[in-house]
Structure 1
Amino acid sequence: MKNHNIQEDYVMVIVDNRPMYRAGIRSRVELMIPECRFSEHDLFADSLLDRHIGSSTCFMISVRNMSDKTIIHNIKKLRLLQETCKIVLYGYQQPVPKIIAFFREKISGYLPDDFTDGELRECITALAANRIYINMQIAIELMITPPPVRSRKKPLLTQTETKVANLLVRGLSPSHIAREMGRKISTISTIKSNILKKTQVNNVIDLAEVMEKEPKEMSI
């Protein structure tokens, strides 16, 4: 079935080191877009030298053996070369939620490694309408996967330092605190120095302000 939204000069660049897989994609797309021209490459670096690259070029890139860092680097390279070309990734082997990072870099679509003819058709149709594409199964998985839990900030002060800090801001001297806690004055003085260093203040007055602003982040 011919897609009438596809431009006449539509070019698909297939990047995959599996010749049979490239041939399979090509034959499937030819049935959908008879007028489509093709260019095939084993390596992504070779595709950047392709003379067919233009605003109506669609890159189909297998990322199954690429690290996340390499994938993002390659997307940025393509965007610098041709800002409006379409970029579709497929075959990602890591957990689905990590795909979001690639969409932030403005890819046009994502397909699983074993995508069907129907998914490929839907993807091409979406790209022709300037919409991004992601298949239903992955879309559902992204929706039901809870966001990562943000780790709690590491506390600035230990329990002992927190106790000493609270006594300091109440106006107690190191000698008074030493008697109350059964410690040596030199020990309390050292703890006080550590507290001021960790909170990046020079005196007890400033320490009181810091502890008032961020009480939860200060201690365990």
Structure 2
Amino acid sequence: METPIQNKEIIFLLADDHSIVRQGMEIVISDIVPNAKVYQTSSLHQVLELIESKGIEMAVIDAHFPDGNSLHILPQMKNANPDLKILIFTGLEEELHGLKFIKAGADGYLSKLSEEEEVREAIATFIEKGEYFSDLLRNLLVQFVYNPDLISPLNSLTKREMQIAELYAEGYGNLEISNSLNIKQNTVSTIKKNIFEKLKIENMVELVDLVKTHHKL
């Protein structure tokens, strides 16, 4: 016996730079909603064009593409179609990145590390309810109400610490930062130590990743 969800005629967009991911997701969607119309793209720059020209109702989109990050276009996607439902399907850690995508306009967040059955259930929930939040993300959303810094750990840095973190991320060393900001090298080193302690990181690679992830997008 067919369920109401199986009878739906939904126009989907699958946006991911890996064709195997798009193909796998299309199989899952077609199993759940046989009448679905599915468009695919590997380019972030084509996403808005397809939403506007094809009447996309639901989008499953990766976080990172070779031509950019989807975070900054989520508001534009919603502007193009206010009723559009967006599910982020990514390998990025949900605990670190889920909240910022939801805040930017996504209606759900699903990890590519999920088991196949979990992916199928998440897609079915997304299609039926227009949203999907794992238990982890629901807990984070509750915590976010009491601690807005969860959305970006960089919010815990002072203005000067953020300035120096940005310079480190751009490849500057202690001496260059010292000369640029007209402060002593040992002051730069002290601030660097404070930054590492606040962000709970141990090396420059982690700092650069945090700045690029949370501040430069």
For normalisation by structure 2, the TM-score amounts to 0.56
Instruction: Please provide the CA RMSD for this pair.
Output: 3.4
Q: Residue 31 of structure 1 corresponds to which residue in structure 2?
A: 31
Deviation at 1:82, TM superposition (A): 0.6
Point out the more displaced range, 4-13 or 73-82: 4-13
Distance 2:89 2:5 in 1: 23
For 1:133, the aligned partner's letter is Y
- Contact between 2:28 and 2:120, CA under 8 Å: does it hold in 1? no
Distance 1:109 1:137 in 2: 12
- Contact between 2:9 and 2:33, CA under 8 Å: does it hold in 1? no
Question: 1:101/1:5 Cα in 2 relative to 1: closer, same or farther (>3 Å)?
Answer: same
Kindly tell me the number of residue pairs found equivalent between the two proteins.
151
Q: Which has the larger radius of gyration?
A: 1
Distance 1:142 1:113 in 2: 20
What's the CA shift string for 1:128-173, capped at 9, x where partnerless?
A: 443521223554577789944975989xxxxxxxxxxxxxxxxxxx
Name stretches of at least 5 consecutive residues in structure 1 with no aligned partner.
155-220
- Paired-residue identity, %: 15
Name stretches of at least 5 consecutive residues in structure 2 with no aligned partner.
160-217
SS at the partner of 1:121? helix
Question: 1:141/1:80 Cα in 2 relative to 1: closer, same or farther (>3 Å)?
Answer: closer
Question: 1:142/1:77 Cα in 2 relative to 1: closer, same or farther (>3 Å)?
Answer: closer
Distance 1:49 1:152 in 2: 38
- Contact between 1:3 and 1:125, CA under 8 Å: does it hold in 2? no
Distance 1:103 1:133 in 2: 11
Between Structure 1 and Structure 2, the one with more helix by share is 2
Distance 2:45 2:157 in 1: 41
SS at the partner of 1:99? helix
- Contact between 2:13 and 2:60, CA under 8 Å: does it hold in 1? yes
Q: Residue 116 of structure 1 corresponds to which residue in structure 2?
A: 115
Distance 1:77 1:119 in 2: 29
State whether structure 2 residue 80 is matched by structure 1 residue 81. Answer: yes
Distance 2:157 2:62 in 1: 37
For normalisation by structure 1, the TM-score amounts to 0.55
State whether structure 2 residue 23 is matched by structure 1 residue 52. Answer: no
Distance 1:91 1:24 in 2: 14
Question: 1:111/1:151 Cα in 2 relative to 1: closer, same or farther (>3 Å)?
Answer: closer
Question: 1:100/1:26 Cα in 2 relative to 1: closer, same or farther (>3 Å)?
Answer: same
Question: 1:78/1:2 Cα in 2 relative to 1: closer, same or farther (>3 Å)?
Answer: farther
Distance 1:45 1:19 in 2: 16
Deviation at 1:95, TM superposition (A): 6.2
SS at the partner of 2:129? coil
State whether structure 2 residue 14 is matched by structure 1 residue 14. Answer: yes
SS at the partner of 2:5? coil
What's the CA shift string for 1:24-68, capped at 9, x where partnerless?
A: 1111221111111111101121122223224xx21110114589x
Distance 2:66 2:101 in 1: 13
Distance 2:32 2:94 in 1: 31
Question: 1:2/1:19 Cα in 2 relative to 1: closer, same or farther (>3 Å)?
Answer: farther
Q: Residue 5 of structure 1 corresponds to which residue in structure 2?
A: 5
Distance 2:87 2:76 in 1: 14
Question: 1:2/1:114 Cα in 2 relative to 1: closer, same or farther (>3 Å)?
Answer: farther
